[in-house]
Amino acid sequence: GAVVSQHPSRVICKSGTSVKIECRSLDFQATTMFWYRQFPKKSLMLMATSNEGSKATYEQGVEKDKFLINHASLTLSTLTVTSAHPEDSSFYICSARGETASYEQYFGPGTRLTVT
């Protein structure tokens, strides 16, 4: 149980285009989802927290107009990187938290974004 998927696993896009990453909880309802960014050989940096049906809460320094997060249902959250630039290239990981055990997050396998 508690499986989280991400799609796509890898994506290459041209500079100036937008790309959408999906995060799904497959066997539980995720009231809260988190989006992290990981630079090479670095730790995970929390970008934002999204609760189903409400606006995401962004961490300090994260541009909310650039990283659009939507959590339209209890099993799906999306991260859209708008007008992507090479510096947005990174590994993006989502996690999901259920209605019970509010202290435990289940992580997706990550999405490697490369902007050319």
Query: Contacting other proteins (CB under 8 A), which of 3, 12, 26, 46?
Result: 46
Site string for other proteins, 82-111 (x = CB under 8 A): ---------x-x-x-x----xxxx-xxxx-
String of DSSP letters for 8-60: -SEEEE-TT--EEEEEEESSS-EEEEEEEEE-TT--EEEEEEEETTS--EEPT
Site string for other proteins, 47-86 (x = CB under 8 A): --x-------------------------------------
Which segments of the chain does DSSP mark as H helices, in order?
none
